[in-house]
Amino acid sequence: MEKTKKTAKELIQDYDGPHLRIMEVCGTHTHEIFRLGIRKLLPPQVELISGPGCPVCVTPVGYIDEAVMLALEHQAVICTFGDLIRVPGTKMSLSEARAKGARLQVVYTPLDAVVYAEEHPDTQVVFLAVGFETTTPSACLAVKKAMEKGLKNFSLLVANKTMPNAYQALKGSADAFLYPGHVHAITGTKDCKKMEEEGVSGVVAGFTARELLTALAVTLEKFKEGKPFFVNCYPRVVTDAGNPSAQALIDEVMEPCDSEWRGLGVIPGSGQKLKKEYASCDARMKFNLPKIEGRSNPACRCGDVLQGKCRPSDCKVFGKGCTPQHPIGACMVSNEGACSAYYQYGLEE
Amino acid sequence: MCVGLAAKVVGIKNGMAVIDASGARREVSAELLQDLEPGDYVMVHAGIAIAKITDDDEDETDELMEML
């Protein structure tokens, strides 16, 4: 009689292999795994650790200070995704700057910021361009559209980041990576395959319960085989080639630069900046911003959390001085942040 | 910010797609995907359709489990 195959859930619950640490690179994976109760299925030798894949969380304090300066000293209207507004800067967040007169517009897409600039020709409009390969194409498209329309009042404060060099920096932090599905919808799977060749294991994972359970089951089964592996567990969205049009758009508008990641420091070649053809849309050049070194609250351990060195609940201010209502660190602000996930779902851990 | 929105394309015009996500409709850029047609499903990020969704998660995961 044919043996009945185990389900993904059973494979996870019955895992009897060696101890392993799996890093959820993507903050949305962290939240969904908590929300779906998947952590409660894991045997004790399987440890999930959060990574740096929340764009708000890795944006350095100095970037918030630049945005506050643009709003208060240059009277620019700041267009931004909503979760950046409450991230603490050295002296204040954008939310606190609003109480001092800063004008903020929360937008769904940078393309809406271009429309806002078009409708307010006498106002300088700056879009806060943060995020990984997933969101960078929308910022590039916004710049191109603003230039096509001849807008002189639209610019980007760019802090976009790319994942490949961050993966390199994180080697050794975990035994296997849950790679972020939507980053690889853009970039394809070549970086993951390169990691496998270099001895680092991982799977690209989707976001539904079925997809996350299957990605974890594949990770555990492959890990037991004792050799590096890579499996694309999200093939309905992620192809080997990724999105060539998006890649070409990024290459046309942006070029690599060194970039500071909160907690990880400066990672060479891990950032994006506008190419000189698009320099008229670079807010730093347009407003001649000085180099700003931000200072975070010394009690905050977001940096360690982002590298998987500690759990959010190991931080002294977690859940006490630092809560979603009164965040001290970026990881508590963003809906994709690890501290926010632990606070919302996992205080008992 | 990086949370994707899975949606059905209900119309295409001038590089823009009207999408339906669980009943909510809005216009997004379709410039980064070729050959998009009404009826296709797409993943949307920050106002841009970034990838076609080619299968449902049940068939996708069944195939992956077969591999184990």
Confidence grade of residue B1 (pLDDT, cut at 50, 70, 90): low
Residue A52 maps to which CATH number? 3.40.50.11740
Residue A291 sits in the same domain as residue A341 = no
Q: Does B36 touch chain A (CB under 8 A)?
A: no
A298 band by pLDDT with thresholds 50, 70 and 90: confident
Reported confidence tier of residue B3, pLDDT bands at 50, 70, 90:
confident
Higher pLDDT, A333 or A162: A162
Query: Is residue A264 located within the same domain as residue A313?
Result: no
A79-92 average pLDDT score: 92
- Cβ distance A245 to B33 less than 8 Å, yes or no, reads yes
Residues A284 and A229 in one domain: yes
Contact call for residues A171 and A142 (beta carbons, < 8 A): no
Same-domain status, A335 and A285: no
Are residue A254 and residue A315 in the same domain, yes or no? no
Would you give the DSSP letter of residue A275? -
Measured between beta carbons, the chain B residues lying within 8 angstroms of A54 are 2
Domain housing A15: 1-299
Give me the pLDDT at residue A131, please.
93
Pair (A204, A186) in one structural domain: yes
Per-residue tokens: A279: 């320099």
Residue A288 has a pLDDT of: 97
Q: Do A309 and A283 reside in the same domain of the chain?
A: no
User: CB-side exposure of A8: number of CA atoms within 13 Å?
Assistant: 22
Residue A83 has its nearest CB partner, among B1, B57, B61, at B1
* Nearest in space to A184 (alpha carbons), one of A222, A238, A228: A238
Residue A210 shares a structural domain with residue A314: no
DSSP state of A282: B
| Interface contact flag, B47 A138, Cβ < 8 Å | yes
Of chain A, the percentage scoring pLDDT greater than 70 comes to 98
Q: What is the pLDDT of residue B53?
A: 96
Residue-wise DSSP of A193-219: HHHHHTT-EEEEE-SSHHHHHHHHHHH
pLDDT at position A2 is 54
Under 8 Å between Cβ of A306 and A58: yes
Counting residues of chain B whose pLDDT is more than 90, the rounded percentage is 84
Ranked by mean pLDDT, the top range of A15-19, A292-296, A297-301 is: A15-19
Q: How many domains does chain A have?
A: 2
Query: Do A248 and A327 sit in the same domain of this protein?
Result: no
Enumerate the residues of chain A whose CB falls inside 8 A of the CB of residue B2.
Answer: 26-28, 53-55, 131-132, 134-135, 180, 182-183, 336
Last residue of a domain, one of A299, A316, A332: A299
Q: How far apart are CA B46 and CA A80, in angstroms?
A: 11
Instruction: Determine whether the interchain pair B33/A111 forms a contact, defined as Cβ–Cβ distance below 8 Å.
Output: no
What pLDDT is stored for residue A297 in this prediction?
Answer: 84
Amino acid at B5: L
Residues A334 and A255 in one domain: no
Identify whether the C-beta of residue A25 lies closer than 8 Å to the C-beta of residue A52. yes
A253 in the same domain as A193: yes
**Cα torsion angle, B29, B33, A162, A283, sign:** negative
Same domain, A243 and A337: no
Q: Which two tokens stand for residue A323?
A: 């809560």
Question: How do residues A233-262 score in pLDDT, each as one tens digit?
Answer: 999 999 999 999 999 999 999 999 999 988
Tell me if chain A has a CB within 8 Å of the CB of B29. yes
**CB A55 to CB B2 under 8 A?**
yes
Q: What is the pTM of this model?
A: 0.92
Task: Identify the band that residue A3 occupies on the pLDDT scale cut at 50, 70 and 90.
Answer: low
Mean pLDDT of chain A: 93
| CA–CA distance, A59 with A294 (Å, rounded to integer) | 11
pLDDT of residue A219: 98
If phi > 0 it is left, if psi is from -120 to 50 it is alpha, else beta; for residue A45 that is alpha
- The answer, for B21 touching chain A at a CB cutoff of 8 Å, is no
pLDDT value at A300 more than 80 = yes
Contact criterion met (CB < 8 Å) for A53 and B2: yes
What is the pLDDT, as a whole number, of residue A330?
84
Binned at pLDDT 50, 70 and 90, residue A264 comes out as: confident
Q: Distance (Å, rounded) from C-alpha A225 to C-alpha A223?
A: 5
Q: Report the pLDDT value the prediction gives residue A347, as an integer from 0 to 100.
A: 55
Q: Which CATH class is domain B5-67?
A: mainly beta
Question: Which of A72-81, A114-123, A163-172, B32-41 is the least confident region?
Answer: A163-172
- Tokens linked to B24: 């909510």
Q: How far is CA A149 from CA A59, A77, A128, A331, B14, in A?
A: 30, 19, 20, 37, 16
User: What residue ranges do the domains of chain B occupy?
Assistant: 5-67
Nearest to A211 among B4, B31, B57 (CB): B57
Q: Tell me the C-alpha distance between A80 and A148, whole Å.
A: 22
Strand B48-53 and strand B41-45: the pairing is antiparallel
pLDDT over threshold 80, residue A49: yes
